[in-house]
Amino acid sequence: MNIHEYQAKELFDRFQVPSPKGQVASTPEEAAEAARQFAGSKLVIKAQVHAGGRGKGHFKNGFKGGVHLIDSPEQAAEFAAKMLNETLVTVQTGESGRLVRKVMIAEAVDITHEYYLAILMDRASCRPVIVASTEGGMNIEDVAHDSPEKIFRQAVHPLLGLQPYEVRKVTAALGLSGDLAKQFSKLLANLYKLFLECDCSMLEINPLVTTPDGRVLALDAKFGFDDNALYRHPEIVAMRDKEEEDPREVAASEYDLNYIGLDGNIACLVNGAGLAMATMDVIKHFGGEPANFLDVGGGASKEQVTAAFKIILGDPKVKGIMINIFGGIMDCNIIAEGVIAAAKETGLPIPLVVRLEGNNVEAGKAALKASGINITTAATMAEAAEKIVALVN
Amino acid sequence: MSILINENTRVLVQGITGSFGARHASLSLAYGTKVVAGVTPGKGGQFFENIVPIFNGVAEAVKETGATASAIFVPPPFAADAILEAADAGVELIVCITEGIPVMDMMRVKEGLKGLPVRLVGPNCPGLVTPGRGEKSHGGCRIGIAPGYIHKRGNVGVVSRSGTLTYEAVFQLTQLGYGQSTCVGIGGDPINGTSHCDVLQMFNEDPETEAIIMIGEIGGTAEVEAARWASENCKKPIAGFIAGATAPPGRRMGHAGAIVGGEEDTAAAKKRILAECGIAVSETPGDMAVTLLRHWGKA
């Protein structure tokens, strides 16, 4: 789940992680008001979208750049009018771009030095790890590749928590001393608290900056949240912006389905994530292009299966469907009932290949046969993949 | 022999009165598993299917029935607590089926289990099966959610993150006439109790296991670590499959742990390293058993 820059700032403010002054605005008037609030500071206006590359992007109305310095409240309103409810295209959004619904008026800070600071859950050591580098403001993968000695890692004990000596180690690794070191120490302790209390999977500040007037600030942040923990974070779930997500995936999540949209034309509906990944792989192996990843899970109801089917059928790129079920928890008859219901409701205009095996398979196969729907069956997943690719091509 | 469980293992089921727990406790009983107790706080004194006593807590269940293994079917907000309760009660093997436990909960649980004489398998796993010698492999031990009928008693060990891919491999083997010693689903979460490498070590020591199938997927380095250990230490032929060759980077593919972080945890990288370590890599999921048999010299 991604969040906007202004929401990241809300979290930073809540946990007292210093960042440049900023205020979100949904109208030109609000933008002007925000600029007035910050009179005396150099300001920028930034389009709020879940994608990078905003500065170099362009709007479909011709306005260039999603980030601009502004010299007055009037200019804030003027630029906001050119951005709000307009579509911004960046290298990360693709040609279709993203609709900008909010802008942020923020303090433009002068930078003495850019650092990198991140906290992530390291699966190998089963610990949160703090990653820090003096080489901020650039791609950390490049730093890892070219000068790995400039990246400092500090694992934190899962039960003991972040210790002051560990904070001192990170501070020293960044070459900070004096008052800047004091500020950084507080920032890091608060950041770690945020990481734990919000059940983050990843939190990256790039760059973290020191300024000529002696401040330490988080300039840009990227958050990842543990999906498994969202049930205990309604305040974070409230930050979700469905408009920024693939509409097929939004529809799927309303039914608790695990769905990821891809670009191909053969859709698949599978139980079990490993089998779903392998199904995509086997479709590709036989020359097809998977349209999606879809795991209906072990406890799927007939309604969920029907909903899954309809989401697949709602994708205009899809020219064929492969259903691959090996029931452990999943009851093959429930899949069959869901498929039959969906096919009857939608008419099934495209080829469907079904491979069923496992728990209650005989009842499932019998139901499909009795339904009278035009279904091609297969005994193995390889056979199913070969058949659907042939039918689609 | 088999590993971890056999036809005599006494199993308790935490969450036996929930719909999933109940369904699979029932299927395990039908398979011949010695399900000797259930635990649901507040339902102590009742019976499951008129034969399995239900207790309020794991300690009492263990004391009264001598159960040594537990299957956990408890919802995510309470599952970490269920694991710790079982460990505290002296359960030797904890198999946590639950999907959706917060990663930080598992991080703390794993730390908390250190030093205790307990093995955790999972979470987010399909469980374990040691097939029986009866018809349709009945009479064995089934902990978890796997369909019993696909198994056959034999000499191939199977270890996997994915439940349904395990069933594919097992069914392929059974249909070709080759049975399984034990099938272990370690689960799809990024932090779990038992790794591929742990299981390979057990299969390596097990006299009944003669060959191994290892199934992995994108995300993390577990398969690679297991492969490197095997190339130095494993006496038995291994075939492997890695799912997720077509997965887009950075997306969580269902399993919490199935997310490509960098160059090393893609399917392609893992397949390459497995092959370098002497593991026969199956190109498609339909060829897992056949790939093993060729590598093993049986085909």
Residue B74 corresponds to which tokens in the numbers above? Answer: 């408890």
List chain A residues with CB under 8 Å of B99.
Answer: 297-298
Give pLDDT, residue B260.
59
Chain A, chain B: beta-carbon pairs less than 8 Å apart: 172
Range of the domain at A47: 20-107
A70 plus A95 within the same structural domain? yes
Q: Is residue A3 part of a domain?
A: no
Does A160 contact B at CB distance below 8 Å?
A: no
Residue A164: other Cβ atoms inside 10 A: 9
pLDDT at position A299 is: 65
Q: What is the pLDDT of residue A46?
A: 95
Last residue of a domain, one of A206, A236, A266: A236
- Residue B241: which of B183, B167, B291 has the closest Cα? B291
Domain containing A96 — which CATH number?
3.30.1490.20
A384 and A262 within one domain: yes
Within-domain flag for A262:
yes
Query: What's the confidence (pLDDT) of residue A181?
Result: 98
Q: Shortest Cα distance from B107 to chain A (angstroms)?
A: 6
Domains of chain B (ranges; CATH) run 10-121 (3.40.50.720), 152-296 (3.40.50.261)
pLDDT of residue A354: 92
Is there a single domain that holds both residue A295 and residue A273?
Answer: yes
**Residues A250 and A384 reside in one and the same domain:** yes
Name the domain boundary from A184, A203, A236: A236
B contacts of A299 (beta carbons < 8 Å)? 20
The mean pLDDT value for A289-308 works out to 84
From first to last of its 299 residues, chain B has per-residue pLDDT tens of 699 999 999 999 999 999 989 999 999 999 999 999 999 999 999 999 999 999 999 999 999 999 999 999 999 999 999 999 999 999 999 999 999 999 999 999 999 999 999 999 999 999 999 999 998 899 999 999 999 999 999 999 999 998 889 999 999 999 999 999 999 999 999 999 999 999 999 999 999 999 999 999 988 889 999 999 999 999 999 999 999 888 887 677 767 666 655 667 788 889 999 999 999 999 988 899 999 999 999 98
As a whole number, the mean pLDDT across chain A is: 92
**Final residue in a domain of this structure, among A197, A213, A236:** A236
**Cβ <8 Å between A284 and B283:** no
Q: What is the average per-residue pLDDT within A296-315?
A: 82
B271 or A342, greater pLDDT? B271
Q: Is the pLDDT of residue A285 over 80?
A: yes
- CATH of residue A367's domain is 3.40.50.261
Compute the nearest-CA separation of A58 from chain B (Å): 26
Mutation for testing the A interface, residue in B246, B251, B253, B271 having most A CBs under 10 Å: B246
Per-residue model confidence (pLDDT) at position B214: 97
Measured CA to CA, the distance from residue A291 to residue B248 in angstroms comes to 12
| Residue, of B74 and A379, whose pLDDT is higher | B74
Question: Do A357 and A375 belong to one domain?
Answer: yes
Omega before A207 cis (within 30°)?
A: yes
Whole-structure pTM value:
0.92
Q: Give the start-end residues of each E strand in A34-169.
A: 43-47, 58-59, 67-70, 87-89, 98-99, 103-107, 113-122, 127-133, 151-155
Backbone φ and ψ for B230, nearest 5 degrees, come out as -65, -40
Same domain, A375 and A250: yes
Residue A43 lies in a domain: yes
Same domain, A282 and A175: no
Are residues A120 and A217 both part of a single domain? yes
Mean pLDDT calculated for residue range A208-230: 95
pLDDT of residue B132: 96
pLDDT at site A326: 87
Q: In this structure, is residue A8 part of a structural domain?
A: no
The CATH number linked to A145 is 3.30.470.20
Q: Is the dihedral of CA B280, B283, B288, B293 positive or negative?
A: negative
* ipTM exceeding 0.85, yes/no: yes
Mark yes or no for CB contact A121/B190 under 8 Å: yes
Whether A63 and A101 map to the same domain: the answer is: yes
Q: What's the pLDDT at A91?
A: 86
**Residue A217 domain flag:** yes
- At A374, the pLDDT band (50, 70, 90 cuts) reads confident
Task: Name the band, by pLDDT with cuts 50, 70 and 90, for residue A343.
Answer: confident
Nearest Cα to Cα of residue A382 among A294, A312, A278, A295: A278
A302 and A387 in a single domain? The answer is: yes
Residue A82 within a domain: yes
Most B-contacting residue of A127, A266, A275 (CB-CB within 10 A), to test interface: A275
Q: How confident is the model at residue A357 (pLDDT cuts 50, 70, 90)?
A: confident
Q: Hey, which residues of A are catalytic here? A: 116, 204
Does A11 fall in a domain? no
The whole-angstrom separation of Cα A17 and Cα A192 is: 10
Q: Which two tokens stand for residue A183?
A: 């500020």
Same domain for A225 and A344: no
Are A124 and A230 in the same domain?
yes
pLDDT score of A361: 86
Under 8 Å between Cβ of A256 and A311? no
Residue A12 located in a structural domain:
no
Count of structural domains, chain A: 3
Q: Could you confirm whether B255 is annotated as catalytic?
A: yes
Residue B75 tokens, joined:
């919802």
Window from A153-162, A254-263, A285-294, B151-160 with minimum mean pLDDT: A254-263
